[in-house]
Amino acid sequence: MSEKLRGADIFVRALIDEGVEILFGYPGGAVLHIYDALYAQDKIKHILVRHEQGATHAADGYARATGKPGVVLVTSGPGATNAVTGIATAFMDSIPLVVFTGQVPTHLIGNDAFQEVDCIGITRPCVKHNFLVERVEDLALTIKKAFYVATSGRPGPVVVDIPKDVTANVAEYHYPTSVDIRSYKPTTKGHPGQIKKAAQLILSAEKPMLYTGGGVVIDNAAAELTQFGRLLGYPVTNTLMGLGGYPATDPQFIGMLGMHGTYEANMAMHHCDVLVAIGARFDDRVTGDLAQFCPYAKIVHIDIDPSSISKNVRVDVPIVGGVANVLGELNKLIKESGREPANRETNPWWRQIREWQKLECLAFDRSSKLIKPQAVVESLYKITGGDAYITSDVGQHQMWAAQYYKFDQPRRWINSGGLGTMGFGLPAAMGVQLAFPNERVVCITGEASFVMCVQELSTCLQYDLPLKIVSLNNRYMGMVRQWQEFFYERRYSHSYMDALPDFVKLAEAFGHVGMRVENPSDVEGALHEAFALKSRLVLMDFITDQSENVYPMIAAGKGQHEMHLAPSASDRELA
């Protein structure tokens, strides 16, 4: 005989039974019954954010770092709409979130009631799925379905909209251990025939290239990918979302690809004869001009989402399935073939790649009297031994973080790749720190992005989150300024951050430690000092060279091989 519970208590019990440990939220009228039920328990830790966008980003950071779904609770109306940016961010990067939104009571829906918004309608285009719970009897099963849909197949955010009366009404509580949805059956195993075909093509390559994305990280397939790469001895490039999927310090890793990828990665993409795309989706920031993309390559594409295959680029051997699963099968076939890995010393393709590497496309001016943003990231990498969790906001600092911090492990690099959401970094770092209280969590940001969710510094104080915030402050929206320099004849229209706050005082006002760093010689010392303050949040305001640009750069719509190089690297260009 199951027990009868109020909807609000069913909600809390279901979350506990689902194994939820942390709930990111902000109360309001429509969810007061639920907040009352939360008050009476101590199994779920509720984190009170300062804005609902922060709740969704924090849950997202938690999910990216742990692989577990991030869980959010917000109220109806503005609570729900504030959460939308975070939901869309998670959607674009396939991050499992379950977002519970309060709703006005069922009899008021459609009545333009106070704090009413059509949450299902508003979130529909940026969720994997959403549910409106109309009866308390459906609540537990709907919660189960929401977690199942969010975390299976290609993961994504799921919204559950709960009217207030549903949380007050009473029903029998039963939480199912599993759920079956007839209209939702994700494929996880690849087709054996296709896998065989792929193996043959891969083994026949003379100029192979492994191009891997966020799917490797999401499917926990880094070990399989690393084995795959090493069995073959082929060059590997990662997308922005895929960093850490293959160890960055491995000699086969030739850097990130795409708009701000390395010269060698983009050149190798352009010239390869067999391209193996693994958990990557041929995003426009990766491919550049589709007509010029990988013109000589036969393409194998492994992805769990059939709609990602042949969406932008026609592929020769599509394999629908989980990346870990398919790579496991491929690894077996490669081992059976008895093939030796490509020899990096003697192989002509590797010799060509080494020529491209000689360009040193990521070199920068180390004698400058100004702080070079790249140098800050490099120092951070050195001081943390590559062993920190790095979140970032969006813009130049994000690209420098991706280029100069070498990620050897998955789930360490946490950024908004698809949607490109400024304001993501700080709340995401909170989510990571809450998941791993004893790890070093760093938010690399810029002064423009940082203030977009700056209110969360207050949350960090409340929960003693000792984040280290590295702000590369160039007094510009740097990436906007860079595009204006390149493509708008230096008309810096509204990209200048006038009237910035004193960031040291700002940090102090929120109860944290602030540092301002202006000389290149002080960078390492400041970082050491900040990390020594183990229990404190430290905001480091690095005053960097305003004119620095992110190189290499492929202008939007150009071919992969048409890169703008840093002025110093252009001098070295041999070809």
Give the shortest CB-246-to-other proteins separation in angstroms. 28
Q: Is 194 in the site for other proteins (CB under 8 A)?
A: no
Q: Any residues with CB less than 8 A from the CB of 405 and at least 6 apart, and which? A: 377, 380, 381, 386, 390, 413, 444
Tokens of 456: 């969360």
User: What positions carry a catalytic annotation?
Assistant: 52, 114-115, 164, 479
Q: In whole angstroms, give the CA distance from residue 512 to residue 461.
A: 7
Stretch that binds other proteins, among 91-99, 182-190, 329-337, 454-462 (CB under 8 A): 182-190
Give the shortest CB-63-to-other proteins separation in angstroms. 19
Q: Is 310 in the site for other proteins (CB under 8 A)?
A: yes
From 4, 41, 111, 181, residue interacting with other proteins (rule: CB under 8 A): 181
Q: Other C-beta atoms within 10 Å of 111: how many? A: 10
- Binding residue count for other proteins, defined by CB under 8 A: 21
Residue whose CB is less far from other proteins, 122 or 342? 122
Q: Which residues, in sequence order, are bridge partners of residue 472?
A: 446, 542
Give the shortest CB-142-to-other proteins separation in angstroms. 12
Q: Any residues with CB less than 8 A from the CB of 74 and at least 6 apart, and which? A: 25, 26, 28, 31, 52, 55, 80, 82, 83, 99, 100, 101, 102
Q: Is 95 in the site for other proteins (CB under 8 A)?
A: no
Stretch that binds other proteins, among 41-49, 307-315, 449-457, 527-535 (CB under 8 A): 307-315
Give the shortest CB-125-to-other proteins separation in angstroms. 5
Q: In whole angstroms, give the CA distance from residue 304 to residue 327.
A: 12
Q: Is 124 in the site for other proteins (CB under 8 A)?
A: yes
Give the shortest CB-130-to-other proteins separation in angstroms. 8
Q: Is 230 in the site for other proteins (CB under 8 A)?
A: no
Q: Is 323 in the site for other proteins (CB under 8 A)?
A: no
SS3 60: helix
Stretch that binds other proteins, among 129-137, 285-293, 466-474, 537-545 (CB under 8 A): 129-137
Q: In whole angstroms, give the CA distance from residue 434 to residue 63.
A: 11
Give the shortest CB-181-to-other proteins separation in angstroms. 7
Stretch that binds other proteins, among 15-23, 60-68, 128-136, 399-407 (CB under 8 A): 128-136
Stretch that binds other proteins, among 166-174, 301-309, 369-377, 495-503 (CB under 8 A): 301-309
From 113, 115, 184, 564, residue interacting with other proteins (rule: CB under 8 A): 184
In degrees and rounded to multiples of 5, residue 45 shows phi and psi of -90, 120
From 113, 120, 370, 513, residue interacting with other proteins (rule: CB under 8 A): 120
Q: Other C-beta atoms within 10 Å of 470: how many? A: 30
From 72, 84, 97, 132, residue interacting with other proteins (rule: CB under 8 A): 132
In degrees and rounded to multiples of 5, residue 559 shows phi and psi of -75, 160
Q: Is 129 in the site for other proteins (CB under 8 A)?
A: yes
Residue whose CB is less far from other proteins, 59 or 146? 146
How many residues does this entry show for the chain?
575
Q: Is 180 in the site for other proteins (CB under 8 A)?
A: no
Q: Which residues, in sequence order, are bridge partners of residue 162?
A: 102
Give the shortest CB-155-to-other proteins separation in angstroms. 13
Q: In whole angstroms, give the CA distance from residue 13 to residue 171.
A: 13
| 41, 238, 400 from 364: Cα distances, Å | 54, 22, 11
H/E element holding 392? strand 389-392
Q: Is the peptide bond before 163 cis (omega within 30 degrees of 0)?
A: no
Task: Characterise 132 by phi-psi region: left (phi > 0), alpha (psi -120 to 50), beta (else).
Answer: beta
Site for other proteins, rule CB under 8 A: 120-121, 124-125, 128-130, 132, 134, 149, 181-184, 305-307, 309-311, 314
